[in-house]
Structure 1
Amino acid sequence: MSSSAFADGAPIPPVYSCSGRNEPPPLTWTVPAQAVRMALIMDDPDAVGGLFTHWVVSDIPLTTTSSRVGRAPEGGAVSANSAGRADYFGPCPPVGTGVHHYRFTVHALSRPIELSPETPVARAISAIESVSIGHGRLIGTYAN
C-alpha cells in the first residue's frame, strides 16, 4: 500500500486533516490472486481515548486498486467510523497530544461481507478481520 501524498512513516499533509479539506489522500494497493474483495481501514492507535477508527471501506472490487483524492475506493461500501459517521474523518488529534500514527490498512478478503453505512465500527472491523487473508499497511503521522 502506498500514497503519492506521503511516504510510509512520513507526515500526512494537512490538507487531508480536519484542519484542511478533511478528505482522504490518494492510495494505491496491490491485490493478491486469492482475494475475492478488498477492504480498507484507517485508524489512530495513539488516540487519547484509545483506538479511534477514522474510515472503514469494505467489499472493494478487485478491479479497484487505488482511490483518488477525496473519494472512497470505487465500488466499496463505507461503514460508520468511531465518530458514528459513514465517511472519512481525517487526522484531528487534540493539541498537545504529540505525534499520532495513522494506519491505512488494506485487507484482502476471502469473500464479500456486505456491510451498510449503519454498521457499527466494531462490528465492521470484526467482519473484515474474520475474512481477511492478508493485509498491507501504510502509516502516516500527524500532530496539531
Structure 2
Amino acid sequence: MNLDRPTPPEPYNFLPAVPDFTLTSNDIASGERIADAHAHHSAGGGNASPHLSWSGAPAGTRSYAVTCLDPDAPTGSGAWHWLLVNLPATTTELPTGAGGEAKLADGAFHTRNDLGGDGYDGAAPPPGDRPHRYLFAVHALDTDALDVAPDLSPALVGFNLTAHTLARAVLRPVR
C-alpha cells in the first residue's frame, strides 16, 4: 500500500453549502476508532450499523436520508457503505442495527451500497492501509420521498440527495 498518497478531501466540501445540525451516537464519535461491532464481517466485525440520533434540522424538513461514505477507499470515488432513504421527518433516531433486518418506518428503505449489499456494510479498509474516515451523515431533505429505487447506484442516489438536501449532520469516526 502507498501510505504516502495524499488524503482525499471530503466530498461534501465540493457540494453546495448547506447548514448543519446535531448528530450524536452511543456507538461512534468523530475521530474515534469504529468498534469491531460496527466493522464489516471481512474485517472481523459484527457488521451492525451504529446508533444515531439527531436534532435541530431546519424548518421545511420533510424526510431524512442516512449515509456512510469512506472517502479514503482506494477507488477514485470512495466507497458507499450505507444508504437509507425516505425516513419520515418525525424520525430522529435509529437504534444500533437499523442498517440490517430491523423494521424501518413506513416508506423507508436501503439502497444498494458499493460493497454489494442493500443495507449497512461496515468499515473494512484494506489490510495495512492507513486509517480510513467514515462519514456517517444524516441529510435533512425538502421532499417526502426521493424518487429512487433500491437497486439504483450509490452515485445516482447521492445525486438525488444533493438536489434535495436542506442541511446535513456528519460524524467522522475512523477504522
- The answer as to 2:35 corresponding to 1:8 is no
More deviation in 120-129 or 65-74?
65-74
Q: Which runs of 5+ in 1 are unaligned?
A: none
- The answer as to 2:65 corresponding to 1:43 is no
> Which of 127, 152, 163 is matched with 1:95 structurally?
127
Larger Rg computed on CA atoms: 2
Shift of 1:12: 1.0
Write the distance in 2 (CA, Å) between the matches of 1:85 and 1:6.
Answer: 22
- The answer as to 2:47 corresponding to 1:22 is yes
Shift of 1:63: 1.4
Letter in 1 for 2:39: S
TM-score normalised by length of structure 1: 0.92
Count residues with an aligned counterpart. 142
TM-score normalised by length of structure 2: 0.77
- The answer as to 2:90 corresponding to 1:58 is no
Tell me, yes or no, if the aligned pair for 2:26 and 2:52 is still in contact at 8 Å.
yes
Q: What are the superposed Cα offsets for residues 58-115 of structure 1, whole Å, 9 maximum, x if unpaired?
A: 1111111111111138322210111232111100011111100000011111112132
> Which of 128, 132, 144 is matched with 2:165 structurally?
132
Percent identical: 29
Q: Which runs of 5+ in 2 are unaligned?
A: 1-22
Structure richer in strand, relative to its length: 1
Tell me, yes or no, if the aligned pair for 2:58 and 2:166 is still in contact at 8 Å.
no
